[in-house]
């Protein structure tokens, strides 16, 4: 039995719309030379845009073990998005820092998100898109997720 998207409740409609937007962003990033980037990379990047952090700090912010954080960093490092360097405050610790490629994929993602937003506004109407955006922002606040967004502590649902 086929599922009609028009039958989706608010939770599923917003989820599927988010996935479709994320897929379009990934398609555009791939076309720009970032085919190896993944949606989940942003979960780590959000903690690095403010500057280098140690693996232990990253693990704490991600809500995972140091081993899991190290695994994520190793993967991002192998793809050239982050590097590790000695922590100037503690010779035993290593900091994780965005590379030029990491900064570039973040800049490209921001550029493409803005372009997608402008295209959707042109196609569907600025007022409708703004109303939808404000509704989603209100839902985020109503469900208590605003502090996580403000703190750049967004995690996928468990």
Would you kindly state where each structural domain of the chain is located, as residue ranges?
A: 11-150
State the pLDDT confidence band at 157, using cuts at 50, 70 and 90: confident
CB proximity list for 50: less than 8 A, separation 6 or greater: 152
Candidates 3.30.750.210, 3.10.620.30, 1.10.10.10, 2.60.40.10; CATH matching 11-150:
1.10.10.10
What is the band of 87 on the pLDDT scale with cuts at 50, 70, 90? confident
Report how far residue 45's alpha carbon sits from residue 62's, in angstroms, rounded to the nearest whole number. Answer: 11
Mean pLDDT, residues 71-77: 98
Q: What angle do CA 90, 66, 70 make, to 5 degrees?
A: 90
Over the chain, what is the mean pLDDT? Answer: 94
Q: Please identify which residue in the block is written with the tokens 């490629």.
A: 101
Q: What pLDDT does 155 receive?
A: 75
Q: Which long-range contacts (CB under 8 A, 24 or more apart) does 68-77 make?
A: 72/44, 73/44, 76/41, 76/44, 76/102
């Amino acid at each position: 039995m086929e599922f009609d998207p028009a039958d989706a409740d608010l939770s599923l409609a917003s989820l599927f719309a988010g996935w479709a937007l994320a897929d379009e962003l990934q398609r555009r990033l791939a076309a720009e030379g970032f085919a190896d980037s993944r949606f989940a990379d942003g979960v780590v990047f959000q903690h690095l845009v403010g500057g280098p952090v140690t693996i232990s700090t990253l693990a704490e912010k991600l809500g995972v073990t140091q081993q899991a954080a190290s695994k994520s960093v190793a993967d991002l490092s192998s793809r050239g998005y982050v590097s590790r360097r000695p922590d100037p405050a503690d010779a035993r610790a290593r900091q994780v820092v965005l590379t030029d490629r990491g900064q570039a994929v973040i800049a490209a993602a921001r550029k493409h998100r803005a372009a997608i937003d402008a295209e959707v506004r042109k196609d569907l109407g600025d007022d409708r898109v703004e109303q939808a955006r404000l509704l989603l922002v209100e839902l985020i606040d109503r469900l208590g997720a605003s502090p996580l967004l403000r703190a750049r502590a967004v995690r996928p649902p468990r």
